[in-house]
Chains A and B, each alone.
Chain A
Amino acid sequence: MNMGVCFKVVLVCLVSSIALTGCKRPKKGGPSGPGPDGRVTAVNPIGFDEYRNDTGPGGMGVRSDDGELLNTDLEVIYFAYDSSQVTEGERYKADSVAGILQNSPGARLEIEGHCDEQGSREYNLTLGESRALAVREYLIDSGIAGDRIQTKSYGEENPAVFGHDDESHRLNRRAGFLVFN
């Protein structure tokens, strides 16, 4: 499967999921499901107000999940095994993203970090996040404001390809980009 098609499918799925969560303040009694005895239960999300002022150094500020997804075909950055380093050969892809953000001052970016299936799921959530953060660091060093860039790790939970060979693993060790208006 070529990466372009795969990436577009991922974009479509993410657009739908973003449309469902929307930009409203989360209300009580949101998405629900049956409890262990079959009763439907409600999720009671903690309001975002609680986190509004909670940013540390290098912090990302409060999460934003609103905005329109821009239709940009951004190349995915690949990583070596157990590494979150953006290698020299991959940097042009990050430079391309920086350029788009520089040209659209109102746009914000979401970097999604992924891993191959090796290693524990918990460690891979962290590793995926480290990859997204490494790309974020690179973009901040290129002059993009940190509060325009959020990270989302999928660990090994959202592979691009489903094979188990080295090449499939390589294609899953990646960071992808979503740009919102």
Chain B
Amino acid sequence: MTIRDVGAGKTGLDFSRFKTDSSKTSSEFLHVLKTDLTRSGWFALTSGGGAVALKGACRNSSNQITVDCAVQQEGMGTVLNRSYNSGAKDVRRLAHQVADSIVKAVTGNRGMASAKLVMVGTQSGKKELYVADSDGQGLIQLTQDKSVSVAPKWGPANQIVYTSYLKGYPDVYLVDVSSGGRDRISSYAGLNTGADISPDGRDVVLILSKDGNPELYVKNLRTGKLVRVTNTPGAAEASPSWGPDGNQIVYVSDSSGRPNLYITSRQGARGKRITISGTESVSPDWGPDNRIVYSSRVEGRYQIYLIDPAGDRKRPVLISPGDGADYEDPSWAPDGRHVACTRTVNHKAQVYILDTGGDEPIALTNYRGDWYSPSWSP
């Protein structure tokens, strides 16, 4: 998709022919569905008129929800015609699923409503990992390390990797979200951090300093085999992110004197700089449709930029608002349109969702404490 100016047109979506029964659960379903479709950025909801009409009903019978859903699009006919079921307690999840189906049927794009985010929260007094739904609801505390958690990244197979000082040293751990099990996967001498799982789920890229300098390594998750990728005695590496091709890696290096973004391959090709020398560019995330978001310090404030490594590299696009806050740690949503990030104002951090399509940022969290370093699930 292309990036449009603020206020670009949205598709009218008429809800007037979608019915709910009198149950609270059905009301909740409708509320979550409407919120998700609005947040998707593609639609302006109406109660009459619009290129798209949603027909059907949501009913609760003995705590079982049934949703019948038909979507008609002007000039295209019926683009979606389905029934959905779930237990009443899963009504929010069902609404997210239906919202994503509608986005896909009408626009051809993936939605983000069903996805989740992992992030660091300080609510407990320690820096622990939490998981939330795409609308900030359903918050679950994932770790009880009572230590310091840093830079969680959600991998392709329901795994989260992160750095923790649980054992007194910066080590990398892998959490299986389904089972709740956890393994320590990197605890060499020195620094273990920068973990990001490859798109095929087989490898993890790491920053290790065990050989005398922070460098990039790739470790096979099954065999444990470690391959060194960078060899830069005069420069230090950080913050790697896999490209969607599972071969290229974008990362931060200070070899030019300031932190800048470079791209290399897992075989260890010479790093190619993609940001302008003299700026301070950090925390890249390489998204599903091949564009990279990162944070850069401009006139004393951190802003989020977008760059297309296959396009014109000298023209990064600003996607965070110039509202005086610091925007850092961007993470692509699976819809390839929205970007979660940390927004800090008056030294307090909350997670926000930016829209590369031009809509205003939305707060994901509004909880006590600091919330930062978000990473979307697939």
Contact = CB atoms under 8 A, between A and B. Distances in A.
Contact of B207 (A41, A59, A125): A125
Among A60, A122, A155, the most chain B Cβ lie within 10 Å of the Cβ of: A122
A121 B170 CA distance: 13
Among A17, A35, A153, the most chain B Cβ lie within 10 Å of the Cβ of: A35
Contact of A119 (B127, B191, B259, B373): B259
A67 interface: no
A35 B226 CA distance: 29
Interface residues of A, number: 57
A164 B141 CA distance: 29
A21 interface: yes
Interface residues of B, number: 61
B173 interface: yes
A20 B239 CA distance: 30
B191 A46 contact: no
Contact of A123 (B185, B191, B282): B282
Nearest to B166: A31
Given A61-B189, A125-B191, A34 B236 contact: no
Interface string A1-23: 00000000000001001101100
Contact of B190 (A31, A60, A120): A60
B282 A119 contact: yes
A57 B212 contact: yes
Given A50-B224, A123-B259, A133-B209, A45 B184 contact: yes
Interface in A110-140: 118-123, 125-127, 129-130, 133
A36 B191 contact: no
B181 A120 contact: no
The main secondary structure of chain A at its interface with chain B is: mixed
Interface string B119-158: 0000000010001000000001111110010110000000
B210 A60 contact: yes
Contacts, number: 184
Nearest to B128: A33
A34 B180 contact: yes
Given A31-B145, A130-B236, A122 B211 contact: no
B187 interface: yes
Given A56-B212, A129-B214, A164-B347, A63 B191 contact: no
B238 A125 contact: yes
Contact of A120 (B166, B212, B328): B328
Contact of B184 (A21, A44, A63, A122): A44
Contact of A125 (B142, B170, B224, B226): B170
B203 interface: no
B168 A21 contact: yes
A121 B373 contact: yes
Interface in A132-168: 133, 150-155, 157-158, 164
A33 B189 contact: no
Contacts of B283: 120, 122-123
B84 interface: no
A51 interface: yes
Interface in A25-42: 26, 31-37, 39, 41-42
Nearest to B237: A126
B79 interface: no
A17 B168 contact: yes
A35 B158 CA distance: 14
B313 interface: no
B224 A133 contact: no
Given A31-B166, A46-B183, A152-B169, A123 B239 contact: yes
A54 interface: yes
A34 B252 CA distance: 34
Among B145, B177, B185, B238, the most chain A Cβ lie within 10 Å of the Cβ of: B238
Given A43-B184, A45-B183, 18 more contacts: A31-B167, A37-B180, A42-B181, A48-B187, A54-B210, A56-B212, A61-B189, A63-B169, A82-B258, A122-B282, A123-B238, A123-B259, A126-B237, A127-B238, A129-B209, A129-B236, A155-B150, A157-B148
14 contacts: A31-B166, A35-B142, A57-B212, A63-B169, A82-B280, A120-B239, A120-B328, A125-B151, A125-B170, A126-B214, A129-B190, A133-B214, A153-B209, A157-B165
Interface of A: 14, 17-18, 20-21, 26, 31-37, 39, 41-46, 48, 50-51, 54-63, 65, 82, 84, 118-123, 125-127, 129-130, 133, 150-155, 157-158, 164
